[in-house]
Amino acid sequence: MRGELERFVEGMGEPAYRGRQIFAALHRRRLRSFDEMTDLPKDFRARLSERATASTLAVESRYVAADGTRRYLLKTHDNLPVETVFIPEERRDTVCFSSQSGCPLQCDFCLTARLGLLRTLTAGEMVEQIIIALNDAYGVGARIPRGTNLVAMGAGEPFLAFEPLMKALRVMADREGLFIVPNRVTVSTAGVVPKIRELARVEDRPHLAISLAAPTDELRDRLMPINKRWPLRELLAACKEFEESLKPGERFTFEYVMLDRVNDSDDDARRLARLLNRHKLRAKVNLIPHNPADELPYRPSSEERVEAFKAVLESKGVRAFVRRPRGRDIYAACGQLAARRIDSGVNRSGLYQLS
C-alpha cells in the first residue's frame, strides 16, 4: 500500500514523498527493479536494494496458445508455482490471476486440486501477476486499455485468501497506481459461505461468481467436497443475502462446468433452473465445457449437449451463456492450471515437482 511504503522510506530517514514515488514506479509505471527508477537518487536506490526487492515473482515460462491466450508459469521467492493467464478478446482483454499456489479444495474435475495447497499468496504476489501480464501484453508502463478485466479464477480459492485478496484489490484501485477499480474485477468462489456474506459488506467490492457444477447436493458432494461443509441450501441462502448488495443491473454469475454424462442431462438442467428460480436469484449461468487432462476422469460434454442444456435453462427463464474454452492447447484453460511445463524435455511427468 502507498501508506506502508511512505512509512518504510521514513524508517530509512527519507521523506514520505519518496514512498509515493516508489509506489508510482511500481504500480503506474510497472517497473520491476529499483535500478530502473532513475528518478530516485542513486545511493537511495542502492540502499533500497539492500533492504527490499521491487519484484518477487520470477517468470519461469511463458506459453502462447493458438488463440492468443498466454499462460505464465511464475515462481515465488520460496520456489512455489503461480500461474497467470492473459486472455485477449475482441472487445476487451482479461487477466486471470491465482490467489493460492495449488489449492486445498478437492474438486474432482479440476487439475489444480492435484497439487494440494502449497501456500496462500500475498497481496503483493497477486498484484505482481497482473503487472507481469499487463507489461507483456501492452508494454512496460503503457496505458491499460479501457475495459480490461481481472478475474480471480486461476489456481486457488480466493475466499480462503480473503484478506490478501482484499488488500490486493485496494492496491490495484489506487489512482496513483494501476487504477483498476473493483468494478472491473470478478472473484470466483467454490462456495465459502461466510466469505460471501463478508464480501456483501465490503464497500466498493468486486463482482461475485459461484462455481456450482451440480444441481443437487448428492452430485455436488461428489464433485465438490466443499459442499459437505456448505450445502446448496446454505450456499443459495448466502447468495440471496448477497443479492441485496447488487447494484442496479448487476447480476452474479453461476459457473457450471459441463461434464459428459455426469451433470449435463436435460433433467439436470431442469433441476438447476428449479433451484435458481426457487430462490429468485438475479443471476446468470455460465456453462463451461470441461477442459480435459489425462489425469482427470471426465470428458467435456458435446457441443450439442451444451446447447441443449442451455436451451432448457432459457426455456425456464434462466439466462445462460456458453463459455468457449481458451488456451486449452497450453493448459491455460479453467481447471487446467497445475504448473505443467510443456517445454519438451523438461519434467516429462507433467506436473510441477517441488525442489
Check binding of 338 to ligand SAH (CB under 6 A): no
Taking CB atoms, the residue at the shortest distance from ligand SAH is 335
* Cell numbers at 20, concatenated: 509515493
What are the backbone dihedrals phi and psi of residue 255, each rounded to the nearest 5 degrees, phi first? -95, 140
Query: Is 189 one of the binding residues for ligand SAH (CB under 6 A)?
Result: yes
Catalytic status, residue 334: yes
List the one residue from 166, 236, 257, 287 that touches ligand SAH (CB under 6 A): 257
Are the C-beta atoms of 260 and 302 separated by less than 8 Å?
A: yes
290 contributes a contact to ligand SAH by CB under 6 A: yes
Q: Does residue 220 contact residue 230 with C-beta atoms inside 8 Å?
A: no
191, 242 Cβ separation under 8 angstroms: no
Please identify which of the residues 6, 14, 83, 128 carries the catalytic annotation. 83
CB of 151 to ligand SAH, least distance (A): 8
Asked if 109 interacts with ligand SAH (CB under 6 A), we say yes
Beta carbons of 100 and 325 less than 8 angstroms apart = no
Q: If binding means CB under 6 A, how many residues of this protein chain bind ligand SAH?
A: 17
Tell me whether residue 173 or residue 293 sits nearer to ligand SAH (CB atom): 293
For ligand SAH, the closer CB: 290 or 340: 290
Residue 157 within binding range of ligand SAH, rule CB under 6 A? yes
User: Per CB under 6 A, does 213 bind ligand SAH?
Assistant: yes
Q: Which of 107, 110, 239, 334 is catalytic?
A: 334
Interacting residue with ligand SAH among 84, 120, 186, 188 (CB under 6 A): 188
Closer Cβ to ligand SAH, 41 or 116, answer by number: 116
Q: Does 301 bind ligand SAH (CB under 6 A)?
A: no
Residue of the chain from 48, 153, 272, 276 that contacts ligand SAH (CB under 6 A): 153
When the beta carbons of 157 and 243 are compared against ligand SAH, the nearer one is: 157
> Is residue 263 a contact residue for ligand SAH (CB under 6 A)?
no
As measured in angstroms, the least distance from the Cβ of 351 to ligand SAH is: 14
**130 vs 190, which CB is nearer to ligand SAH?**
190
Question: Is 218 or 294 the residue whose CB approaches ligand SAH more closely?
Answer: 294
Binding ligand SAH by CB under 6 A: which of 14, 255, 264, 268? 255
| Closest distance of CB 168 from ligand SAH, Å | 15
Euclidean distance between CA atoms 125 and 165, whole angstroms: 10
Report residue 32 as a C-alpha cell.
Answer: 520491476
83 in catalytic set: yes
Give yes or no for residue 264 binding ligand SAH (CB under 6 A).
no
- Of 243 and 255, the one with the shorter C-beta distance to ligand SAH is 255
φ/ψ region of 191 (left if φ > 0, alpha if ψ in -120 to 50, else beta) reads left
- Catalytic residue numbers read 83, 334
Which chain residues interact with ligand SAH by CB under 6 A? Answer: 107, 109-110, 153, 157, 188-190, 211, 213, 255, 257, 288, 290-291, 334-335
